[in-house]
Structure 1
Amino acid sequence: MHTLEQLRRGELAGIQRLDLAADLTELPDEIFALADSLEVLNLSGNRLRALPHDLSRLHRLKVLFCSDNPFETLPEVLGDCPQLEMVGFKSNQLREVPAAALPAQLRWLILTDNRIDNLPAALGERPRLQKLMLAGNRLSELPQSMAGLHQLELLRIAANRLEALPDWLLQLPRLAWLAYAGNPGSDRAEAAALASHPQAPVARGELQLGRLLGQGASGLIHAARWNEREVAVKLFKGQMTSDGLPHSEMAACLSAGRHPQLLPVIAPLQQEPGQPDGLLLELLEPRFAVLAGPPSLASCTRDCYGAQQRFIAEQLLALAHGVASALAHLHARGILHGDLYAHNLLVDSHDCRLSDFGAASFFPPGSAQGAALQRLESRAFGILLEELLQRCDTPPAHLAALIVDCQQADTRQRPDFAEIVERLQ
């Protein structure tokens, strides 16, 4: 984190990224001295309500974060910035999104956890848009113009007021990662899942929490002891994540059932006032490690692998079959994972576990929309398989056709996971 004093003394000349949280109520003029180098500007955690009318003087600016500020309207000056492609205004007080505020080069837009009840039709006129995060707003519909977002790959619309998903949404040719839980259209399925788990909630007093094992967007995972067993406990943090609501994730985890490639859930934790929701999990052996890192600002929707990371054909086939089998199991139970990525796979050689249900949603099995949702996730699997094949010295030849089939622009022609499992066998 940089300081205002460093900026004013000219010590930051030539930097490409500036992180400034200094209780600001307006943008310091000294920032414009960085115009010839500044590409990433992080102003999160200040008290800004507006941005200067001449923000476009930062002519190299590509990324702007203004989360945790009291903005009520997305500033129209954003639309004047010629290179701006990533905009993040999470956890503000946004009510309005003017059409003029959407930069022409927009590729990644984060408006999570605000008060937005409608979006401009101009959103569908941003052809480069790949990633759109709208969870935790008040949207009751999406603009029809979004049917023209042919590059859109990731969409988060959980915890809004949507009664149903529009049919055009599931026909978008590149959409692969979708989260829509916590809307009126899915609330009943989530409530039923939370009420139907066979194991009664576990009292927190029965647990002895141990060391922190890891953390993600939705919570912290601790080692613990329960009834003389070594277990893990996930404690959810906050009321809203970038993907949606903690109770939606809990509902999906409790409904997922048992499968060799899923992390087994033992029981929910008993709810207590002032305490976060939680889940009791089987403890995963430490030999498992995350397969890849999450997307970067530059990669947008693609995971980041180690420079030397390679896979042998036998390992690749085992991992692909394990993941596909887990997805087929979830889909048969009416659950869309919503975040099928290498960074959500825990791997030990040929063995894997699919984790992180923060973007999971329910759908009615056997319905036409349910079938379309399953084939949406087929594209995510095709992308994952392609990434693994790119890092395999002797890639199995027959997988190339499966990758193409999973990523077909015509979503109706993609295989579902029952077929994918069969082809991998």
Structure 2
Amino acid sequence: MVLSAKTKQSGVTSTTNMDKPNNSKRPLSHATDSTRTSESCDVLVLSNKMMTNLTSEFLTEQTTQPDVISKVLLERNKLKDLPFELVDFINLEVINLSYNCFHQFPSVICEMLSLREIIMVGCEIEALPSNFDQLSGLETIILDLNHLRKIGDTLCTLNKLTTLSLGMNYFSVFYSTLPDQITKLNLDNNHLAVFPDCILALANLRQLNLSFNRIKELPVEIDGLTELEELLIVKNRLHALPSTICNLV
């Protein structure tokens, strides 16, 4: 297991048992394959166009066969909402809406039931809608750099979800029931003072990033995360690590 932690007592950051990860600060990057421009006929690329409005007419001009589109890339525009006509993209699996001006989660997204991956980085989203759980096919959710403070149990029924990234938000506490099949969880750069107990229930968790928070101690029960391969918790307020953490190495 990779363990990267710095305690106030030792003042030393250490990585044990394996080489340091390539990016110890952010192991769950939003730069996934779906954010790369593609010339494939099943990818609709509308990134970096400074659009303030996405109309149904414009969508029709871009593609006459929305049912063949599996990825839509709309990052780095100035969009505040999305047209309902996006539901016509009945086979859409990936949507990237990063760095737009939504503030509120676009309601049409919860009607796009074929989605497997949502990327909304830097959109100032403050909350997830109550019907977000309709997206039962989601495998990856990346909502870094927003204004989220709580998510409640919105995600608990998403039984295919394996990757959840909520870094650089405003969580001071994190009380939530998460799907136990999650393997990658990122909560770095929040305001957490206490290790979230709900994490201890994630029996399949392999990567956990809690760096750049205010956590003072890790629970002794952390050795119950028997599948954990990478724990990043640098830049917190740890004075010591529990002895049980040795059971994970």
Match of 1:368 in 2: 243
Match of 1:115 in 2: 170
> Any residues of structure 2 matched to 1:243-262 within 5 Å, and which?
none
Q: Is the 8 A contact 1:84 1:103 kept in 2?
A: no
| TM-score of the pair, normalised by structure 2 | 0.70
Between Structure 1 and Structure 2, how many residues are aligned?
193
User: Which residue identity lines up with residue 97 of structure 1 in the other structure?
Assistant: I
User: Which residue identity lines up with residue 132 of structure 2 in the other structure?
Assistant: L
Tell which has more relative contact order, 1 or 2 (C-alpha 8 A, sep 6+). Answer: 2
Decide whether aligned partners of structure 1 residues 49 and 91 sit closer, same or farther in structure 2, where only a CA change above 3 A counts. Answer: same
Distance (Å, rounded) in 2 between the aligned partners of 1:128 and 1:96: 21
Unaligned runs of 5+ in 2: 1-36, 38-44, 47-53
1:7 aligns with 2:62: no
1:51 aligns with 2:105: yes
Match of 2:141 in 1: 87
Q: Is the 8 A contact 1:16 1:39 kept in 2?
A: yes
> Any residues of structure 2 matched to 1:211-226 within 5 Å, and which?
none
Q: Offset at 1:52? A: 4.1
> Any residues of structure 2 matched to 1:139-158 within 5 Å, and which?
139-158=192-211
User: Which residue identity lines up with residue 376 of structure 1 in the other structure?
Assistant: L
Q: Offset at 1:6? A: 5.7
Decide whether aligned partners of structure 1 residues 45 and 17 sit closer, same or farther in structure 2, where only a CA change above 3 A counts. Answer: same
- 2:230 paired residue among 177, 183, 202: 177
Q: Is the 8 A contact 2:95 2:119 kept in 1?
A: yes
Q: Offset at 1:114? A: 1.1
Decide whether aligned partners of structure 1 residues 52 and 71 sit closer, same or farther in structure 2, where only a CA change above 3 A counts. Answer: closer
Match of 2:85 in 1: 30
Distance (Å, rounded) in 1 between the aligned partners of 2:106 and 2:180: 27
Match of 2:124 in 1: 70
Q: Offset at 1:28? A: 2.2
Q: Offset at 1:148? A: 1.9
Q: Offset at 1:30? A: 2.7
Match of 1:326 in 2: none
Once superposed, what is the RMSD of the aligned Cα atoms? 2.2
Distance (Å, rounded) in 2 between the aligned partners of 1:10 and 1:75: 29
User: Which residue identity lines up with residue 237 of structure 2 in the other structure?
Assistant: P
Q: Offset at 1:53? A: 4.0
Decide whether aligned partners of structure 1 residues 103 and 68 sit closer, same or farther in structure 2, where only a CA change above 3 A counts. Answer: farther
Q: Is the 8 A contact 1:121 1:144 kept in 2?
A: no
Unaligned runs of 5+ in 1: 187-362, 378-425
Match of 1:391 in 2: none
Distance (Å, rounded) in 2 between the aligned partners of 1:95 and 1:137: 9
| TM-score of the pair, normalised by structure 1 | 0.42
> Any residues of structure 2 matched to 1:22-421 within 5 Å, and which?
22-34=77-89, 36-53=90-107, 55-105=109-159, 106-123=161-178, 126-185=179-238, 368-369=243-244, 372-373=245-246, 375-377=247-249
Distance (Å, rounded) in 2 between the aligned partners of 1:23 and 1:102: 31
Q: Offset at 1:162? A: 0.5
Larger fraction in helix = 1
Distance (Å, rounded) in 1 between the aligned partners of 2:195 and 2:60: 44
Q: Offset at 1:368? A: 2.0
Q: Is the 8 A contact 1:149 1:172 kept in 2?
A: yes
Distance (Å, rounded) in 2 between the aligned partners of 1:77 and 1:52: 12
Q: Deviations over 1:17-39 (max 9, x none)?
A: 111133111122232110x2100
Secondary structure of residue in 1 paired with 2:86: helix
Decide whether aligned partners of structure 1 residues 10 and 76 sit closer, same or farther in structure 2, where only a CA change above 3 A counts. Answer: same
Q: Is the 8 A contact 2:141 2:164 kept in 1?
A: yes
Q: Is the 8 A contact 1:108 1:129 kept in 2?
A: yes
User: Which residue identity lines up with residue 173 of structure 2 in the other structure?
Assistant: N
Larger Rg: 1
Secondary structure of residue in 2 paired with 1:122: coil
